[in-house]
Amino acid sequence: MPRVAFTTLGCKVNQFETEIMEGLFKQRHYEVGPFDQPADVYVINTCSVTHLGERKSRQLIRRAARLNADAVIAVTGCYAQVSPEQVENIPGVNVIVGTKDRDKIVDLVEQAAFSHKKVNAVTDIMKMQEFEDIPLFAAPGRTRAFLKIQEGCTNYCTYCIIPYARGPLRSRPLGSIAGEARKLVKAGFKEIVLTGIHLGAYGRDFSGSVNLVDAVKTVLAVKELQRLRLGSLESVEVADELIDLMQQDGRLCRHLHLPLQAGDNQVLAAMNRHYTVAEFEALMEAIMNRIPDIAISTDIIVGFPGETEKMFANGLQVIDRLPFSRIHVFPYSRRSGTPAAAFAGQVSEEQKKQRAAAMSKLAEKKSLQYKQAYLGRTMEVLFESADGAAIDGLTVNYLRVYTSAAAVGEGKLQPMRLDRLYLDGIWGTVAD
């Protein structure tokens, strides 16, 4: 039996797409093995959000070639889409597939193996009009599954290459979403996470006849499902009806990831973000008034071109007063092919490093405050995986809870008393 190995860089959408490709290979009787071991085929699912991601992709390609010089190396994902010629020129690469036609990857790999010629299957993603609906044939794990329902982005934030790598908006039909959700629940998954490149834009390509709320209702209609969680959303796309559903159905997790990106209006405008700090703050207040226990996490970019010390200080003040549960901090990465790369006022690497450290320190403080507020409470935890003597899982509002692996099993939904801070979360005890 031929062996294939995968590695994935980047976002949860990439992780989901790797699972899709694993299933396609398994359907063709390939054995999936670890990436650090010899294999007949290596698939590198790449990221192109930053140049660091592209550099890591090249390193992984070279590592695969060292493990087996005769292997077929297939490179897919965003880096392959935006720079196919560059990828093709990397020694050892046999197959280049971008962000479409992943359903053909096994055929392309076998074509390259048979012909001993490179296969470049990358085409113009901007001409893609329909969602690439590939079924999930083999899903690893038995607790949480990702369900991709949307592709493409048209926000064109000035720092981001993704619209050029993923193309226009395409949404998965509701019937396909329903069928895939039922299949995942039947396979034993307790929680489904809806994901997409621009999740809040779901349905816009259907002439406005459906939206994200319809997709959420479709999955919640699967009665056996125990939890539904949402991927990242733009704040301007959080509909009142979505919050209504969260209040009405306890299976819809009380967690929203809303990227703020900057706490200064001038920086937000330069980023081409479509809201002000005041609008974001008002939305958070309105949501938390309706759902006090909700977790709202965010992303922050520091050192964006033109960001002065005063603007950065404004951002620190904004973040300090907003009740975020978790904050992901990123120093701005100058990405060629994006408008911001040519902006004046590029911030030095040293300044970006200092600002990232200051913002990360504040992020740790906010996360600690959030966790401390739940000590002593009892909440349901969906336990995912054991690591030695401990097992961990998540509450509906995205608190990570640890307990003794002897106390509960994987996939168990268990009320837990939240006792004390532990690692990146809280240590809990099984509630009576």
CATH number at residue 294: 3.80.30.20
**pLDDT of the residue at 253:** 98
Q: By CB neighbour count within 10 A (0-12 exposed, 13-18 middle, 19+ buried), where does 52 fall?
A: exposed
**Domain check: are 171 and 260 in the same one?**
yes
Is residue 284 over pLDDT 70? yes
Query: 123, 155, 180 — which closes off a domain?
Result: 123
**Domain check: are 56 and 156 in the same one?**
no
**Domain check: are 30 and 62 in the same one?**
yes
Q: What's the predicted TM-score (pTM) here?
A: 0.91
**pLDDT of the residue at 139:** 59
Is residue 140 over pLDDT 60? no
Residue 133 inside a domain? The answer is no
Residue 134 inside a domain? The answer is no
**pLDDT of the residue at 125:** 87
Residue 422 sits in a domain of what CATH number?
2.40.50.140
Q: Compute the distance between CA of residue 74 and CA of residue 109 in angstroms, rounded to an integer.
A: 7
**pLDDT of the residue at 51:** 78
The strand order across the sheet containing 31-33 reads: 31-33, 3-8, 41-46, 72-77, 93-96, 119-120
- What does the pLDDT look like over 413-430, one tens digit per residue? 999 999 999 999 999 999
Residues in CB range of 284: below 8 A, 6 or more apart: 258, 296, 322, 323
Strands 378-387 and 413-422: antiparallel
Residues in CB range of 431: below 8 A, 6 or more apart: 378, 414, 415, 416, 417
Rg (alpha carbons) of the chain, rounded to whole number: 22
Is residue 105 over pLDDT 60? yes
Mean of pLDDT values over 376-384: 96
Structurally, the chain folds into a number of domains equal to 3
**Domain check: are 409 and 367 in the same one?**
no
**Domain check: are 367 and 382 in the same one?**
no
**pLDDT of the residue at 138:** 60
Q: Compute the distance between CA of residue 80 and CA of residue 10 in angstroms, rounded to an integer.
A: 13
Residue 420 inside a domain? The answer is yes
Contact (Cβ atoms closer than 8 angstroms) between residue 177 and residue 147:
yes
Query: 88, 123, 158 — which closes off a domain?
Result: 123
**Domain check: are 62 and 191 in the same one?**
no
Query: 372, 389, 405 — which closes off a domain?
Result: 372
Residue 424 is part of which domain span? 378-430
Give the distance, in angstroms, between the CA of residue 144 and the centroid of all CA atoms in the same chain: 14
Q: List strand residue ranges (DSSP E) for 185-319, in order.
A: 191-196, 227-230, 255-257, 295-302
The per-residue pLDDT of the chain, averaged, comes to 94
Q: What is the DSSP string of 84-150?
A: HHHHHTSTTEEEE--SS-GGGHHHHHHHHHHH-S-EE----GGG--S-----------SSEEEEEEE
Q: Greater confidence, 139 or 342?
A: 342
Q: Which tokens go with 302?
A: 């520091």
**Domain check: are 293 and 275 in the same one?**
yes
Mean of pLDDT values over 76-91: 94
Residue 129 inside a domain? The answer is no
Q: Which tokens go with 194?
A: 């809806």
Residue pointed to by tokens 């019937």: 175
**Domain check: are 240 and 344 in the same one?**
yes
Residue type, 186: K
**pLDDT of the residue at 399:** 98
**Domain check: are 75 and 169 in the same one?**
no
Residue type, 158: T
**Domain check: are 11 and 114 in the same one?**
yes
Angstrom distances, CA of residue 238 to CA of 16, 193, 286: 24, 17, 11
Residue 297 inside a domain? The answer is yes
**Domain check: are 361 and 399 in the same one?**
no
Residue 360 inside a domain? The answer is yes
Residue 89 inside a domain? The answer is yes
**Domain check: are 307 and 218 in the same one?**
yes
Residue 131 inside a domain? The answer is no
Mean of pLDDT values over 389-398: 96
Residue 79 sits in a domain of what CATH number?
3.40.50.12160
Long-range contacts of 32-35 (CB under 8 A, 24+ apart): 32/3, 32/4, 32/5, 32/6, 33/3, 33/4, 33/5, 34/5, 35/5, 35/6, 35/7, 35/60, 35/64
Mean of pLDDT values over 326-341: 95
